[in-house]
Structure 1
Amino acid sequence: MNVRMPTMDGARWAPEALTGALRQVAPIVLGYLPVGFAYGVLALKTGLSPLNTVLMSVLVFAGSAQLIAVGLLAAGASPLSVAATTFVVNLRHLLMAASLAPHLRGWSAPRLAWFGFQLTDETFALHSLRFMQGPPRVGETLWINAVAQGAWVAGTILGVAASTAVADVRPLGLDYALPAMFIALVVGQVRGAIHVLAGLAAAGLALWLHAAGAGPWSVILATLGAAALATGVSAWTRR
């Protein structure tokens, strides 16, 4: 059996790779700027220094984990509690990385490490759609992740700079940017009724589990449950 390996073209950070990446990552950038701004404002009001606020976006780069960490710090939680909670929240990255791993055979360890560090929910959705269309172009793929993090860091810096002028970010409606971006990314991946079923089941399960008190585990359990349901329905309909 012939296994089609991903090509390594575009490995250089060439201008054409950047152009292709910018065209695809634009919806993510539009979502990251306002949400990163909100994080920057909230982090400073929680008591984080401007330097630590920006460093968290550079070194952690996990929007939900950063916002949760800020909330826990504001509530006076211990560093161990913050680390444990954000670890559980980010366990879903194991599922996302495992899903994309078959498409990245042949990549060097440094490239895989860099790709994994900058992988987020939004870039995962975009890469999933891209990888279904053919072998990933290395340069374009890495540029997508780099531009996405650059937008998040830029939003954070803007939030830090404007924190004294913004009393509360909630009236600005910035929290709507992230769900709107996810809707745009998910719609592009729908290929049939089974995908609609998986999406609706995951949403319903996540809401039910959250209401039942599952906390940060609700997303992970809902993802596994919806994937299992969609796989079972797909296998049954094929028979």
Structure 2
Amino acid sequence: MDTSPVVAEERPRPAPAPAPSTRFEVRAALKDSAGVGLGFLPLGLAYGALVTQSGLDWWWAGLSAALVFGGSFEFLLIGMVTASAPLAAIAVSALLVNVRHVFYTLSFPLHRVGGRLGKAYSTYAMCDEAYALTTSEQARTWCSRRILWLQFFLHLYWTGSSTVGTLLGSLVPDSVTGLDFALTALFTVLALDAIRDLRGDVPTPVLAVLSALAALLLFPSQMLLAAFTLFTAVLLARHLITSRKPRHA
């Protein structure tokens, strides 16, 4: 009688799914950024037309869009440059307008971006639209290449539309109105997408609206910075309160 122990056969483990190719990531990033790119077109035309009307050279719009990449600050920068504002005033204005990016770093997926060069460019090219897209529910599985290509396309859209806008700025009649509302409309669409991703989390958008209203009433001259600060403080307090509650099985 055979009393040797029976050795169970080990089943081969399934091979891990292959990583998406670079071509797939580029196409996906292009598709993800297409909607925002359409929103950048009227903004770039408005910015280019403003550069032309300010008496600056045509190449100034594309160069500032590529190097500064500050969105709303670039509109402010034109007036400061034409008025020969001191560098200290420009630096302080840039800090006040773009200080909201400090709050973006709390949840921006920079940890998924690989390499020092990639992290450096991702930090440089982080804008409102890139933050809204990369922090959505469907973006939680995006890899480093997809995030970087998304930011590159957004950077390219803004630079290209600004350059085209300054070349066609003289053709835009003064009677055309509403181009300045394109930025507000774009942020409205991004906010609606973010609210949709919350999936029933009603308190979060309510707290955001209340923080904005409180900042508008108490600090109207620094409404954006005060709203971000208040909203961050409220979210931290909410997290501390909910984490202390006993969890039931």
Instruction: Name the TM-score class by shorter chain.
Output: 0.7 to 0.9
Aligned to 1:3: none
Matches within 5 A, 1:131-146: 134-146=140-152
Q: Please list every run of 5 or more consecutive structure 2 residues that lacks an aligned counterpart in the other structure.
A: 1-18
Residue 158 (structure 1) shift: 1.7
Deviation at 1:85? 0.8
State the aligned residue count: 223
More relative contact order, 1 or 2 (CA 8 Å, 6+ apart): 1
Tell me the alpha carbon deviations over residues 65-104 of structure 1, each in whole angstroms, 9 at most, x when there is no partner: 1011113234453333223211321122222124325x51
1:226 has 2:234 as partner: no
Whether 2:121 is the aligned partner of 1:114: answer yes
Render the CA deviation track for 1:11-55: whole Å, top value 9, x for unaligned. Answer: x7x221121112221221121111111111112222321122210
Please name the residue that 1:63 is paired with: 71
CA contact (8 A) 1:115 1:142 kept: yes
| Distance in 2 between residues matched to 1:167 and 1:210, nearest whole Å | 37
Matched position secondary structure for 1:164: helix
In structure 2, what is the Cα distance between the partners aligned to 1:49 and 1:151? Answer: 20
Q: Secondary structure at the match of 1:172?
A: coil
Q: Percent identity?
A: 25
> Match for 1:126: what amino acid?
L
**Structure number with bigger Rg:** 2
Where structure 1 has 5 or more consecutive residues not aligned to the other structure, the ranges are: 1-8
Structure 1 residue aligned with 2:212: 203
Q: Residue 134 of structure 1: CA displacement?
A: 3.0
Confirm or deny: 8 A CA contact 1:65 1:89 kept in the other structure: yes
Give me the TM-score of the superposition, normalised by structure 1.
0.82
The normalised TM-score by structure 2 is 0.79
In 2: Cα distance, 1:117 partner to 1:106 partner: 13
How do 1:97-108 residues align onto structure 2 when only pairs under 5 Å count?
97-100=105-108, 104=111, 107-108=114-115
CA-based RMSD of the aligned residues comes to 2.5
> Structure 1: how far apart are the matches of 2:74 and 2:190?
22
CA distance in structure 1 between the partners assigned to 2:92 and 2:173 by the alignment: 30
